[in-house]
Amino acid sequence: MHNLLISSRRNFIRSTAAALASAFFHWNFFSRKPDESFWFLHADSGASWEISDPVVWCLQNVNLPVLVRASEGLRKLTTQDGDRILRLVTRRCGLNLIEQSPGNIVVSYWGQTGLADVRPFFKKHQLARNDVQVFLKDRKKEIVTSHTGDNFLFGEKLATDWPLDHFLMKWRWRFLFQTDDWTAAPETWSGYSWAGLEPNRIPWAALKSAWRRKNAISCRNCDRPTILANFGEPWTAFFRRSPRFIYVCSACRRSFREESVKDVGAWIAVNLDSQFRPGFVMNWDQKTPIE
Ligand SMILES: [Zn+2]
């Protein structure tokens, strides 16, 4: 019985793999679903355009600059060579083929470096959701990996225990003083120190001061304001401090690093009222008073 189970399971796996392979790797335009649409996404430029039949489109547009590196091969092929044509244009032209049907996306690309940044496409078509199934199909290795659409949101996913509710509550009270405003906001690390506070931690009072300036960036996923969750310039290597500005979006629960601030001292002078500015700069674990 045990052996029988194993062997039938093996057969099941084999037949499932075969079915997957035939569905994924043999291009058959006539097996398309009625509500399916096709797009090419150019990895280098990020441009995307809809096509009704990708194979026919490639054969008819052999002279377009985007197909120039496949044009010689394409001229020898016909509509009977659908799968070869798609392999050719993903390999030579940096194109990704996106097959879209409700709740389901297949992205075909060539090799590790051939996958385009699909995030802008997913955003535009509202596909970066956890109820969208995404199959990434590497035509070089003929490997398919399965994901959900929300893996293609911009930014970093917040840890489940990240204190978002605490930040939101403090943010809502940013125009009012609360008795615990001179305690450290969790998850902060600034490279500065405020009197009476654990080094590197940012007091809520200072965050509130910055929040009142309305300087938050927009979420790249939701296009709504984010909340500043960290600022400063902590030590990141033996001889180096690096600006660390982090914004979080409460709607998509993603965090974003903002790289545009180069002069953190100047940022502090503009964005924090004087009574909320740090008193010390950290030199590793040593505090040096700021003049
Ligand atoms: Zn968002």
Q: Where are the domains of the chain?
A: 2-152, 156-289
Does the pLDDT value for residue 286 go beyond 60?
Answer: yes
CA of 187 to the centre of ligand 1 (A): 19
- What confidence category does residue 174 fall into, taking pLDDT thresholds of 50, 70 and 90? very high
* pLDDT for the residue numbered 285: 86
For tokens 């994924």, the residue is 24
Q: How far is residue 219 CA from its own chain's centroid?
A: 12
The residue behind tokens 């403090």 is 170
Average pLDDT over residues 148-175: 97
- pLDDT score recorded for residue 34: 75
Question: pLDDT by residue (tens digit) across 197-223?
Answer: 999 999 999 999 999 998 789 999 999
For ligand 1, the distance from its centroid to the CA atom of residue 211, given in whole angstroms, is: 17
Residue 209 in tokens? 């001061």
pTM for the model stands at 0.81
pLDDT mean over 102-113: 95
Asked whether the beta carbons of 123 and 150 are under 8 A apart, the reply is: no
Proportion of the chain above pLDDT 90, given as a percent = 84
Question: What pLDDT, on the 0 to 100 scale, is given for residue 284?
Answer: 84
Query: Tens digits of per-residue pLDDT, 235-274?
Result: 988 889 999 999 999 999 999 999 999 999 999 999 999 9
> How far is the centre of ligand 1, averaged over its atoms, from the C-alpha of 47 (Å)?
23
What is the predicted pLDDT for the residue at 10? 45
Measured between alpha carbons, how far is 34 from 160 in angstroms, rounded to an integer?
A: 39
pLDDT of residue 59: 96
The mean pLDDT of 11-19, rounded to a whole number, is 44
User: In whole angstroms, what is the distance from residue 272 CA to residue 93 CA?
Assistant: 50
Residues of the chain with pLDDT > 70: what percent?
A: 89
Question: For the segment 140-150, what is each residue's pLDDT rounded down to a tens digit?
Answer: 999 999 999 99
Ligand 1 centroid to Cα of residue 247, in Å, is 10
Give distance in angstroms: CA of 253 to centre of ligand 1: 6
CA distance 96 to 89: 8
Residue among 128, 112, 211 nearest 167 (CA): 211
pLDDT of amino acid 52: 94
Residues facing 48 on adjacent strands: 41
**Could you tell me the pLDDT band of residue 32, with boundaries at 50, 70 and 90?**
low
* Separation of alpha carbons 17 and 13, rounded Å: 6
**Residue 114 Cα to ligand 1 middle (Å):** 27
pLDDT at 291: 80
Q: What is the mean pLDDT of the chain?
A: 90
In angstroms, what is the span from residue 212 Cα to ligand 1's centroid?
20
202 C-alpha to ligand 1 centroid (Å): 24
